[in-house]
Structure 1
Amino acid sequence: MARYHIETYGCTSNRGESREIERRLRDAGHRRTDLDDADVAILNTCTVVEKTERNMLRRAEELESEVSDLVVTGCMALAQGEEFADVDAQVLSWDEVPAAVTNGECPTTTADAEPILDGVVGILPIARGCMSNCSYCITKFATGRIDSPPVEENVRKAEALVHAGAKEIRVTGQDTGVYGWDEGERKLPELLDRICDIEGDFRVRLGMANPGGIHGIREELADVFAANEKLYDFIHLPVQSGSDDVLEEMRRQHRVDKFRETVAAFDDALDHWTLSTDFIVGFPTETDADHERSMDLLREVRPEKINVTRFSKRPGTDAADMKGLGGQTKKDRSKAMSELKMDVVAEAYEELVGTRREVLAVRPGTGDSVKCRDSAYRQIIVRNASEHGVEPGDTLEVEVTSGQTVYAFGTPVASEGPDDADEAEETPAAAD
């Protein structure tokens, strides 16, 4: 797990984003520490006046000299990211920060992880541990091998969340695809079917599933998605590299063809769905040719959600003993992939403009806005939510009015409220 240091400047919104970043990092097993002991520093920036901008740049330069990895987020990062071009840092929107800090590692839950109801979102950890032995991941030291409670137990927990008011259930784990493997069975399709059979008006999102675990059940699982309207047509498959040589050095349990075959199975079963994936750039053995293979794979499969992480060494892992690449090499590759990522994701959201989508309002956004999700888990923001009478938990139809790279804006179709498409408002923070 990573030790992180976080500094926040600016308004209440920035402080709220930092709290959410910290919550996700804690949920993933990472811990906050002083700057002297940190693996990574996170700088949440403000950009109110020119003096503030100078202060933010100076602080970024100071932090760069103190830690091996620096992440810059917040208002200045989003509005003036180019100002940090000379700083060896990842410049990200706030919702991308937790994934960048985790270095491609699996999420971590505590030994006694229980379901949590956060607003109308229910968090359901279905198992602890994984079946992988990735050379760069320190999480395995904390979680061990997969430990899967019975399907009936997880279904009871899901029912309790629905009865408590959950409108969205997030099925989570270190690797959901290997649920049941400790008992010699592949139980994920059965579990999702059973959860979707629970009476009530709610949606279900499947959490991270490594391609190696999913591959053997890809067609059965894709059929489960096709048969259940309650399941968001969304799957998170972290490929990590487009090079089989790098995947072998990472000790991943899949190769690129398995990833492609899994994606193809969902393409065959579903008309519209969202692929989320992760790439680690700058792994110690990654060559220029390996990096280009990752770029080519991204162009080929065109995921709608992409996490790009620069490799960083974790103490005690085998990859920590490898001779690393230079910081500038990792920075250049990260920048190139991040730019391609933004083009790919923006294209997906631009294609939604002018369409009508049924969405579930999930969380409050910045100001008077609500974050919603359509059937493929694409994020659509409804602004002036109180005027439209929209609250978290509501299901409504919206017309998508504009795309903003990693989310879109939509207006409720039945609303008689004002046209808010051109109203200026601070960019709502993206959901996880």
Structure 2
Amino acid sequence: MATYHIETYGCTSNRGESRQIERALRDGGHRPADGPGDADVAILNTCTVVEKTERNMLRRAEELAEETADLVVTGCMALAQGEQFREAGIDAEVLHWDEVPTHVRNGECPTPTADAEPVLDGVVGILPIARGCMSNCSYCITKFATGRVDSPPIEHNLEKARALVHAGAKEIRVTGQDTGVYGWDDGERKLPELLDRICEIEGDFRVRLGMANPGGIHGIREELADVFARNEKLYDFIHAPVQSGSDEVLESMRRQHRVDEFREIVSTFDDRLDRWTLSTDFIVGFPTETSDDHERSMDLLREVRPEKINVTRFSKRPGTDAADMKGLGGTVKKERSKAMSELKMDVVGEAYGSMVGTVRDVLVVREGTGDSVKCRDSAYRQVIVQNADEHGLEPGQFATVEVTGHNTVYAFGEPVSA
């Protein structure tokens, strides 16, 4: 597992977000380092109250980038002025706070708790549908803790989903190490049926499908895309981590898919849905990755143009087969990560820029910075509405907004009459 160092600046809200980041990392088996120089990843939770604070944040980010192999910048300045870190030449991933644990996992699957019980966080209900996976990735240590997939019956998960809705959930996040293989331990592919039946539950809420590896959903891609097309409650969003654009690297990673299968999944959803969001992950600097392999990943990113992208530098996990491979130098990994992260920002910025001027129906999911709220449209793209009190908006409400601008990784919206 990774070691981490986290620094927090600013208000109580930032400190609370850092606590949630740290809780998620500890739950996943990661541990704090003695300092940034000893950490696999440093996390800088930023403030942006005044210009002097901004200068301090940039200076501290520069220092941390020199001290640690991997820097993540989050918090208020990351959200409001994330481009400043890029313009300053700082080698860092700029992320929303709740994306940080995914980045630190280094391509490993999320790890539900042993009891896999649902959790209600505000108006967001977390619904773990299974534990374990069917993969044997050479870099992943999570499998040692969770083993093969163990899928409770559909009705069991439906009872948990109904309880979340009854408790006030307006967004249900279907989670698991690999949701696409739900039911495989019983010899069945049950995910499409489960999603259909969750959407049949009475109530006004939305459903987001969590990470599903391409190898798990390729064989059900048409059936799954049809489920999305007929259910308005489902966010038109999938998270399918490709990890590399090179079949040779995927083979070394022991991933259960190849690049063309990932393309076929994307093509199927393109055919079924008018507007949807593809989220994917890339691991940069895997020990067997050549410069040509890296360029194939860059080409794939340019080709499929995901609206949400997580770029992670490879780091060794003890006890995994990849830990015994001769690694690439830190400079090579840093250069490749920087190149892909820059391309990522261009691709994501283009996607959010294309939203400007459109009208979207959104769900208010959480309070934001100051008097703002964070919303999600039907494709799970984030829309920030400012002056929320003036508009009478709070988490759990639905609204219609016109997209008036964007800041690379999210859009700004103004409420309009329905």
TM-score, normalized by the shorter chain, greater than 0.5: yes
Query: Deviation per CA, 1:148-170, whole angstroms, max 9, x where unpaired?
Result: 11100000000000000000000
Partner of 1:8: 8
CA RMSD in angstroms comes to 2.2
Give the one of 98, 103, 107 matched to 1:104. Answer: 107
**Structure 1 gaps, min length 5:** 416-432
Partner of 1:124: 127
Return the alpha-carbon distance in structure 2 between the equivalents of residues 60 and 350 of structure 1.
Answer: 29
Contact 2:117–2:127, Cα closer than 8 Å, also in 1: yes
Task: Specify whether residues 265 and 29 from structure 1 end up closer, same or farther in structure 2 by C-alpha distance, changes over 3 A only.
Answer: farther
Contact 2:58–2:85, Cα closer than 8 Å, also in 1: no
Query: Deviation per CA, 1:76-123, whole angstroms, max 9, x where unpaired?
Result: 66363158647xx53423434322211011001111120001111000
| 1:216-227 alignment, distance < 5 Å | 216-227=219-230
Does 1:280 find its partner at 2:280? no
Query: Deviation per CA, 1:305-330, whole angstroms, max 9, x where unpaired?
Result: 00011111111111111111111111
Does 1:303 find its partner at 2:275? no
Q: Secondary structure at the match of 2:342?
A: helix
Give the one of 361, 365, 369 matched to 2:368. Answer: 365
Return the alpha-carbon distance in structure 2 between the equivalents of residues 267 and 31 of structure 1.
Answer: 40
How far does residue 280 in structure 1 lie from its aligned partner after superposition?
Answer: 0.6
How far does residue 44 in structure 1 lie from its aligned partner after superposition?
Answer: 2.7
Does 1:150 find its partner at 2:144? no
Partner of 2:63: 61
Return the alpha-carbon distance in structure 2 between the equivalents of residues 402 and 80 of structure 1.
Answer: 18
Q: Secondary structure at the match of 2:137?
A: coil
Does 1:81 find its partner at 2:78? no
Q: Secondary structure at the match of 1:80?
A: helix
Q: Which amino acid aligns with 1:42?
A: I
Return the alpha-carbon distance in structure 1 between the equivalents of residues 200 and 60 of structure 2.
Answer: 55
Give the one of 89, 92, 102 matched to 1:90. Answer: 92
How far does residue 218 in structure 1 lie from its aligned partner after superposition?
Answer: 0.5
Does 1:196 find its partner at 2:199? yes
Partner of 2:170: 167
Return the alpha-carbon distance in structure 2 between the equivalents of residues 241 and 182 of structure 1.
Answer: 27
Identity %: 79
How far does residue 59 in structure 1 lie from its aligned partner after superposition?
Answer: 7.7
Task: Specify whether residues 234 and 54 from structure 1 end up closer, same or farther in structure 2 by C-alpha distance, changes over 3 A only.
Answer: closer
Q: Which moved more, 1:400-409 or 1:35-44?
A: 35-44
Q: Secondary structure at the match of 1:242?
A: coil
Contact 1:5–1:42, Cα closer than 8 Å, also in 2: yes
Contact 1:21–1:94, Cα closer than 8 Å, also in 2: no
Q: Which moved more, 1:311-320 or 1:121-130?
A: 311-320
Q: Which moved more, 1:39-48 or 1:116-125?
A: 39-48
Q: Secondary structure at the match of 1:239?
A: coil
Task: Specify whether residues 406 and 238 from structure 1 end up closer, same or farther in structure 2 by C-alpha distance, changes over 3 A only.
Answer: same
How far does residue 61 in structure 1 lie from its aligned partner after superposition?
Answer: 3.5
Q: Secondary structure at the match of 2:402?
A: strand
Task: Specify whether residues 322 and 84 from structure 1 end up closer, same or farther in structure 2 by C-alpha distance, changes over 3 A only.
Answer: farther
Give the one of 238, 242, 250 matched to 1:239. Answer: 242
With the length of structure 2 as denominator, give the TM-score of the two structures. 0.92
Query: Deviation per CA, 1:251-277, whole angstroms, max 9, x where unpaired?
Result: 000000110011111111111111000
How far does residue 34 in structure 1 lie from its aligned partner after superposition?
Answer: 3.5
Contact 1:46–1:53, Cα closer than 8 Å, also in 2: no
Contact 1:295–1:337, Cα closer than 8 Å, also in 2: yes
Contact 2:241–2:280, Cα closer than 8 Å, also in 1: yes
How far does residue 216 in structure 1 lie from its aligned partner after superposition?
Answer: 0.6
Partner of 2:331: 328
Q: Which moved more, 1:22-31 or 1:274-283?
A: 22-31
Partner of 1:343: 346
Task: Specify whether residues 68 and 340 from structure 1 end up closer, same or farther in structure 2 by C-alpha distance, changes over 3 A only.
Answer: closer
Partner of 1:424: none
Contact 2:364–2:375, Cα closer than 8 Å, also in 1: yes
Count of aligned residue pairs for this structure pair:
412
Q: Which moved more, 1:68-77 or 1:8-17?
A: 68-77
Return the alpha-carbon distance in structure 2 between the equivalents of residues 282 and 84 of structure 1.
Answer: 24
**Structure 2 gaps, min length 5:** none
Q: Which amino acid aligns with 1:43?
A: L
Partner of 2:260: 257
Return the alpha-carbon distance in structure 2 between the equivalents of residues 405 and 170 of structure 1.
Answer: 24
Return the alpha-carbon distance in structure 1 between the equivalents of residues 359 and 255 of structure 2.
Answer: 40
How far does residue 62 in structure 1 lie from its aligned partner after superposition?
Answer: 6.4
Return the alpha-carbon distance in structure 1 between the equivalents of residues 240 and 28 of structure 2.
Answer: 17
How far does residue 39 in structure 1 lie from its aligned partner after superposition?
Answer: 3.4
Partner of 1:30: 30
Partner of 1:44: 45
Return the alpha-carbon distance in structure 2 between the equivalents of residues 355 and 85 of structure 1.
Answer: 33
Partner of 1:378: 381
Contact 1:81–1:91, Cα closer than 8 Å, also in 2: no
